Amino acid sequence: MKRTHLPLNALRVFDAAARHLSFTKAADELSVTPAAVGQQIRSLEDVLGTVLFRRMTRNLELTEEALRSLPALREGFARIEEAVALMQEGQGEERLTIAAPRDFIAKWLAPRLPAIKAAHPSRQFVLLPADGPVDFASANLDAAIWFGALPAEEEYSGIRVEPESMVVVISPERLSSVRRAADLGNQPLIEHPGSNWRGWFEKNGLRLPDLAGCLSVADAGLAIDAAISGYGAARVPLSLARSDIDAGRIVVASDPDATDDAYWLVAPSAQWRQKKVKDLVAALAA
């Protein structure tokens, strides 16, 4: 019989009835009625063209055909259980897989991991770089971090990691040459996909400098690193720059600009019920 036609549910009922030699006890194990067990056995016997049980007055007896089949059947169920366990291994409580933008991992999440790890010493963390939409199924993810507006996909829900604003940062050595916002036009600018220098200069009523000489980098994390090195001014999310600001590696050279965009912790609805995801939410909120 082809595997696509295997009556797996009926075989499971047969295994239970064979172990107990009782439809009633098998029904209790499977949380169904004895009549349902009897119907499944009769259906299986019809499909196989084989009698599996002799119905005695007070009990059941297995036929020779049934006895011969049981070892292989139970080995098959054991292999299926093993396969299911392997499928679930990546989603076990002690393994937490998170996809996030590279700059968020480097500048926000990585500095917090030691404290999260200390609270859960046996947990393994897997961080996957993802600068765009992610496929939870193919990557076997528990959660992901997205930047922007709250994802509109119905199958996902999310919580904002923290309110976001943009700031201009420079190295402490350059601060003396920046006494007002207009002075930033004389600084070498560091640009990344979310920097929007043009919008910042227009909002502040300042002349837009020549952006052709900007240093262009892939993300805000690299822009922060370039500012730390003393290259020039970078406009970046405050949440990513905060640890370097607190450490004195860079300083804020402008008032924060609130933005509707933010970093969101996102997961399919079912994932939020996992303890490890609840632990992550609590740790990120701390």
* Residue 264: closest CA among 157, 136, 167: 157
List the domain range (segments joined by +) for residue 46: 3-89
Largest CA distance in the chain: 100
Tokens of 164: 């976001």
Domain end point (choices 73, 89, 105)? 89
Kindly state whether residues 196 and 54 are assigned to the same domain.
no
Q: 97-146, pLDDT tens digit by residue?
A: 899 999 999 999 988 888 888 888 888 888 999 887 777 766 678 889 98
Give yes or no for residue 234 having a pLDDT over 90. Answer: yes
Q: Which residues of 77-94 are buried (b: 16+ CB within 10 A; e: fewer)?
A: eeeeeeeeeeeeeeeeee
Residues 15 and 83 in one domain: yes
The reply to whether 58 and 197 lie within a common domain is: no
Rounded to two decimals, the pTM is 0.64
Question: What's 172's domain CATH number?
Answer: 3.40.190.10
61 and 198, same domain (yes or no): no
Which among 89, 108, 135 is the end of a domain? 89
pLDDT value of residue 93:
66
Q: Assess whether 170 and 251 both reside in one domain.
A: yes
174 and 230 inside one domain: yes
Mean local confidence (pLDDT), 161-181: 89
Predicted confidence (pLDDT) at residue 165 exceeds the cutoff of 80: yes
Q: Domain count of the chain?
A: 3
Q: 100 to each of 127, 144, 151, 267, 269, how far by Cα in Å?
A: 7, 6, 14, 12, 18
Asked if residues 37 and 11 have their Cβ atoms less than 8 Å apart, the reply is no
Instruction: Give the confidence band of 181 by pLDDT, cuts at 50, 70, 90.
Output: confident
Tell me: do 31 and 110 sit in the same domain: no
Question: pLDDT at position 104, please?
Answer: 94
Q: Are residues 188 and 254 in the same domain?
A: yes
Question: To the nearest whole number, what is the mean pLDDT of the chain?
Answer: 87
Judge if 276 and 136 occupy the same domain.
yes
| pLDDT level of residue 280 (50, 70, 90 thresholds) | confident
52 pLDDT tier (thresholds 50, 70, 90) = very high
Give the containing element (helix H, strand E) for 178: none
For residue 142, the model assigns a pLDDT of 87
Distance of CA 91 to the CA centre of its chain: 10
Per-residue pLDDT, averaged over 64-68, amounts to: 94
257 Cβ contact partners less than 8 Å away, ≥ 6 residues apart: 165, 166, 167, 200, 203
Q: How confident is the model at residue 279 (pLDDT cuts 50, 70, 90)?
A: confident
Of 42-51, 120-129, 216-225, 248-257, which range is least confident? 120-129
Q: Which of 89, 104, 132 is the last residue of a domain?
A: 89
For residue 233, pLDDT over 90 is answered with: yes
- Looking at residue 152, its pLDDT comes to 65
Q: Are residues 173 and 225 in the same domain?
A: yes
Which CATH number covers residue 11? 1.10.10.10
Assess whether 174 and 188 both reside in one domain.
yes
**Could you tell me which residues come within 8 angstroms of residue 115 by beta carbon, excluding any fewer than 6 positions away?**
283, 286
Q: What percent of the chain has pLDDT over 70?
A: 92
pLDDT band at 89 (very low <50, low <70, confident <90, very high): low
